[in-house]
Structure 1
Amino acid sequence: MIDETGRTIATLIREHAFRRPDQPMVIDPVNRVSYGELDRTTRALAAGFAEAGIGPGVRVGLIMPNSARWVQIALALTRIGAVLVPFSTLLAARELRAQLEVSAVSHLITTEEFRGHRYLDDLAGTLGRDAITSGELIDPGLPALRHIWTVDDVLAAGRSPDTEKVVDALSDSVTPGDPMIIIFTSGSSGIPKGVIHSHGGALGAVAAGLAARCINSDTRLYLPMPFFWVGGFGAGILSALLAGATLVTEEIPRPETTLRLLERERVTLFRGWPDQAAALARHSGTVGADLSSLQVGSLDALLAPELRAERGARANLFGMTESFGPYCGYPADRDMPRAAWGSCGKPFDGMDVRIADPETGAPLPTGATGEIQLRGPHILLGICRRTREDVFTADGFYATGDLGHLDDGGFLFYHGRSDDMIKVSGATVYPSEVQSALKAVDGVDNAFVTHVDGEAGPRVAAAVVCRSSMTEDELRSAARNMLSSFKIPSVWLLLDSDDPIPRGGTGKVDARGLRELLTRAHTATGDRQPAAAGAPTRIGDR
């Protein structure tokens, strides 16, 4: 691993190209790009961008699925100081236009079509395709947007050798404090925000968590997360780039192809959402892929039984877009102290975490539950179209909206979102506490807890993935041994698998969709209709 104190993309690419030119940096099912090739191709691509007038501070949008080409285009832009604005491939036309407007993107690079989305058609509207491909699109609703290219156009564009000398000068002018990326939050519990991060902040945040994630230059890392979210770009691309590791990716993760890719590339580390690993594990027996190369530090579901940790023993790495991914954790290959089981680990170096009263903002003592607030060199620079006073407290903390507490050992325990906190007859219920208790019940594979509205106020509601013979009464009885009576769910949805659980593009549970799912279950309980094929197996509310 190299010293990241320079903290710009260009210095990292050049250093690795010198030290390990032949080592693959990124692999997809079609392409393999070494560190040496990464330096050459991103320099050439950057020359083409420079000829088009793209340089430091220019905001460039990117719409395309995970691939080695995504990595090359994104790093070519950021190495010359352009501000990368990756957009979700899942966006509808209205959502895409809204994010283009908020982020004030002036140049957009897009794939023509992906999974039924035709992005150029979405943007053309009444102007027609000719207006877009002319490179001179002027739309009153998107006044900043001046040029749109397809990915093929970018890759095929010629560039002058003399311009590559300009690339080197532009790269050398980039500083750690310069903005590097505007990345939109997933919006699982609200409207997505365009979060701005600097080179130094983003790279520093990723570097602070590398050891906890067990990533080094020998790592062959696979993440199913899309690169347009911080989980894919930070924990994937930048983690590999900082450590000199190899990143393995694919456009559309599917159990059979993903398992074969893990086997073929001898992937050593699988990170991501636990539910994604569990879904692969369910198919591994059928596919028969050899995953023996996976090492401790990977998600447990894909590891051999003897390598798995006890439930709660390993840290749940925790973070957000505003902190550029995890800001606390613990080495993923070892157990935490017993008193810290179920926690998110400790804040990483460079991150100041405090717990504050959600209503007054006053700091709370150790052990008290309140809003998690963050301060340090690795957090966001700001949010698009919001003032600094709107984003930070007077003393420079970012109020996350997450709830948690710090114990005497400095370990952070997460209790959910402040807007998901449930008040039952005046008492506070934290969904994460109820989820943890239900997951500890023998026969339960997973649990998702929120609230639904009832005539007497909010009611605790749980969707539980459990064995088919388990009943609602058995779950309620088990919960009584672990939870106060007011915390026990009164609305239950029993599932054979977690497939019906609504999720966003990253795999994160969609909080609003979960409430809607459980509200429907609550409404349906009076009918007592048998479950349809593939639907939840039992629905109850008593």
Structure 2
Amino acid sequence: MPDTATIDALVRSRAATYADKPVVIDPDTRLSYAGLDTSSRELAAVLVQAGVVKGTRVGLIMPNSVAWVRTAIAVTRIGAVLVPLSTLLTPSELRAQLRAAAVQVLIGVEEFRGHRYLDGLPNERSVDLPALQQVWPTERLAAAAAEPGPVRVLDAMIESVTPSDPLVVMFTSGSSGPPKGVLHSHGSALGAVASGLAARCITADTRLYLPMPFFWVGGLGGGVLSALLAGATLVTEEIPRPQTTLSLLESERVTLFRGWPDQAQELARHAGSADLSALRPGSLEALLPAALRSEPGARANLFGMTESFGPYCGYPADTDLPAAARGSCGKPFAGMEVRIVDPDTGLPVAAGTAGEIQLRGPHTLRGICGHSREDIFTVDGYYRTGDLGRLDDDGFLFYHGRSDDMFKVSGATVYPSEVERALRAIDGVTAAFVASVPEGDRFQVGAAVCGDGLTVEWLREQARTLLSAFKVPTVWLLVAGPDAVPRGPTGKVDKRRLRELLTAVSASDPVNQGAGP
């Protein structure tokens, strides 16, 4: 079996090659490749003693840190299935994801940024969480790991893990709103990450800073597993803030900064005299000196999704695209078949014609929790992405948006139907309609709401208890009734006109939107 086919094989191989080299660094801790091998194995022994076995679904909710990496590696080395959980989740959202993934053991911090995750969760099976058997605060797990006992079956368990075994359930919102748990195997996830390393400019010499949370595929695949596969060093922190991030970039001589362009621009405004001379092309360009930047639009944006375990399409991040391919996402990576089909007929379309993007190959998802294979794939094995795009004659992919109404806020997916459902649960709300509101090159969440005695302040306060922060509307419009919302000839809400209405409200009163028509 190749030395990158499973998490255990990968960790042991890299420890043998890069023993004393740091694999992950946070502001308080540095962990070497050899240290990761040893400490994750000791932690794995504790998990086995607690009853975790191959196939056990283990939820993990904690911020980015060395401890997150060590715990995730320990879980997956023994063939248990990692379920990374967002630190942004409200209690109701957390319970929904625990149910959807049938999490059996939950490991988590008790509190982070005002969220208390473990309060009220049963430490055994219950009616609403029938799979959950144990809840382990991270402090308890760390104490147990300090004095691990011998586990005779540990080696046998580790050796039984194969590339086709499930590795992780990553959550992404479904098109109808409920959480969607996407299942990847060791082989599909590691293969997907390996296929994009060159495009991301990650090598053994890279010192990578990536602000994305590890509970997203961008953080786990683009950060943790990318570093392991390349033999690189990953630098992380719990809460990215301009001054602390700049300090890390400078002190750790970070060579590659990947992430969100708006964060890079914010850091550039605060950079002052910070020494960022170690950064190399391939980093977000706002932090690079002018001599190392490309022409606007000359570089591709990596393109992917949770179902492909991150980018499946791209172009070397330090290389300009051919002139004819400017504006594209690059080309599909090795191991991924991409076709464009007519959304109505499902038949492939000619090069240059826009349609729905479908994916097939060894790096695509293995399944979705609660769904049959027939629900997910076409009869010939393609995954229907819901994205729209076109392939040109040279194989470059141009993205045309979504076939539904989803949009991104700070890199996180928002589905209007999910937000609408939460808003309708607020006392006094009789109807709610949600759409994206452009703000420069980004989006805000906008909501038109009707009901009795409502105020924007009340709605905002209640929404914060029901939704993750990035899903809470920032543009509000109070309307007299559902008929005041623009509709099309069939009676359905006209989302385009609703978006225009909310955009006008945002432009006229961006701070505190009030009563409307």
The reply to whether TM is greater than 0.5 is yes
User: Which residue in the other structure is 1:194 paired with?
Assistant: 181
Is the Cα contact below 8 Å between 1:319 and 1:325 reproduced in 2?
Answer: yes
Q: Which moved more, 1:13-22 or 1:224-233?
A: 13-22
CA distance in 2, matches of 1:408, 1:238: 33
Looking at structure 2, the residues matched to 362 and 510 of structure 1 have their Cα atoms a distance apart, in angstroms, of 37
CA distance in 2, matches of 1:361, 1:510: 34
Correspondence 1:147 to 2:134: yes
1:393 and 2:378 matched = yes
Deviation at 1:123, TM superposition (A): 2.4
- Paired residues for 1:304-343 under 5 Å: 304-343=289-328
Aligned to 2:255: 268
Query: 1:213 maps to which residue?
Result: 200
- Where does residue 128 of structure 1 map in the other structure? none
Q: Supply the AA of the counterpart residue of 1:156.
A: A
Q: 1:295 aligns with which of 280, 289, 311?
A: 280
For residue 379 of structure 1, report the CA deviation from its aligned partner. Answer: 0.5
Deviation at 1:53, TM superposition (A): 1.5
Residue in 2 that maps onto 1:522: 501
CA 1:194–1:515: 2 relative to 1, 3 Å: farther
Q: TM-score, normalised by structure 1?
A: 0.77
> Residue 120 of structure 1: CA displacement?
1.6
Q: Is the 8 A contact 2:436 2:499 kept in 1?
A: no
Give the one of 347, 371, 374 matched to 2:356: 371
| Mapping of residues 473-484 of structure 1, within 5 Å | none
C-alpha distance in 1, partners of 2:163/2:509? 60
What is the rounded CA distance, in whole Å, between the counterparts of 1:87 and 1:187 in structure 2? 16
Instruction: Tell me the residue number matched to 1:9.
Output: 7
What TM-score do you get using the length of structure 2 for normalisation?
A: 0.80
Instruction: Give 1:96-115 correspondences, 5 Å limit.
Output: 96-115=94-113
1:60 paired residue number: 58
Alpha carbons 1:230, 1:321 under 8 Å: kept: yes
One-letter amino acid matched to 1:343: S
Which segment drifts farther, 65-74 or 356-365? Answer: 356-365
Equivalent position SS for 2:89: coil
Q: Is the 8 A contact 1:189 1:510 kept in 2?
A: no
Distance change (3 Å), C-alpha of 1:69 and 1:522: same
Aligned to 2:150: 162
* 8 A Cα contact 2:23 2:32, kept in partner: yes
Aligned to 1:476: none
- Cα deviation for residue 166 of structure 1 reads 2.7
**Structure-to-structure mapping, 1:64-79, within 5 angstroms:** 64-79=62-77
The answer on 1:464 being equivalent to 2:440 is yes
8 A Cα contact 1:4 1:207, kept in partner: no
The equivalent of 1:350 in structure 2 is 335
User: Which amino acid is the alignment partner of residue 183 of structure 1?
Assistant: M
Is structure 2 residue 366 aligned with structure 1 residue 381? yes
SS of 1:162's partner is: coil
- State the alpha-carbon separation in 2 of the partners of residues 74 and 415 from structure 1: 35
Q: C-alpha deviations, 1:148-187, integer Å up to 9, x for none? A: 0100111110555531x53222111100000000010156
Shift of 1:191: 3.4
Deviation at 1:344, TM superposition (A): 0.4
**Which whole-Å CA distance do the structure 2 matches of 1:304 and 1:61 have between them?**
42
Q: CA deviation at 1:138?
A: 2.6
Partners of 2:278 and 2:506 lie apart in 1 by 50
> How far apart are 1:336 and its partner, in Å?
1.1
Contact 1:83 1:182 in 2 (8 A): yes
Displacement of 1:76 in angstroms is 0.5
Checking the alignment, whether the CA contact within 8 Å between 1:312 and 1:343 is kept in structure 2 is no
165-174 or 87-96: bigger deviation: 165-174
8 A Cα contact 1:47 1:166, kept in partner: no
3-state secondary structure, aligned to 1:404: strand
Q: 1:242 and 1:203 mapped to 2: Cα distance? A: 8
Say yes or no: does 1:45 pair with 2:7.
no
Seen in structure 2, the aligned counterparts of structure 1 residues 528 and 515 have a Cα distance that, compared at 3 Å, is closer
Distance 1:169 1:419, change over 3 A: same
- Alignment match of 2:403 (pick from 409, 413, 418): 418
Q: Work out the CA distance in 1 between the residues paired with 2:472 and 2:224.
A: 30
User: How high is the sequence identity, in percent, across the aligned residues?
Assistant: 61
Within the candidate set 78, 84, 87, 1:86 is matched to 84
1:259-313 Cα deviation digits (max 9, x unpaired): 111111000001112222122122223xx31111100010111111111111211
Counterpart residue identity of residue 522, structure 1: L
1:522 Cα deviation after fit: 2.9
Partners of 2:67 and 2:307 lie apart in 1 by 26
SS of the residue 1:81 aligns to: coil
Partner of 2:162: 175
Contact 1:225-1:231 at 8 Å conserved across structures: yes
Secondary structure of 1:193's counterpart equals: strand
* In 1, Cα distance between equivalents of 2:506 and 2:370: 48
Distance in structure 1 (CA, Å) of the matches to 2:441 and 2:403: 25
- Structure 2 letter corresponding to 1:79: R
* CA–CA separation in structure 1 for the residues paired with 2:329 and 2:503: 36
- Call closer, same or farther: CA 1:118–1:365 in 2, change over 3 Å: same
AA aligned opposite 1:157: A
Cα distance change, pair 390–316 in 1 and its aligned pair in 2 (3 A)? same
Who is 2:19 aligned against? 21
1:27 touches 1:33 (CA, 8 Å); kept in 2? yes
How far apart are residue 189 of structure 1 and its match?
8.5
SS in 1 for 2:150: helix
Where in structure 2 are there 5+ consecutive unaligned residues? 409-414, 417-433, 443-463, 478-496
**Residue aligning to 2:231:** 244
Instruction: Specify the code of the residue in structure 1 equivalent to 2:204.
Output: S
Instruction: Give RMSD over aligned pairs.
Output: 3.0
Whether the 8 Å CA contact 1:82–1:180 is kept in 2: the answer is yes
What one-letter code is carried by the residue in structure 1 that aligns with 2:292?
A: L
After superposition, the Cα gap between the structure-2 partners of 1:526 and 1:115, relative to the gap in structure 1 and judged at 3 Å, is: closer
**Contact 1:189 / 1:511 at 8 angstroms: preserved in 2?**
no
Structure 1 residue 238: Cα displacement: 0.2
| Separation (CA, whole Å) in 2 of partners of 1:460 and 1:62 | 31
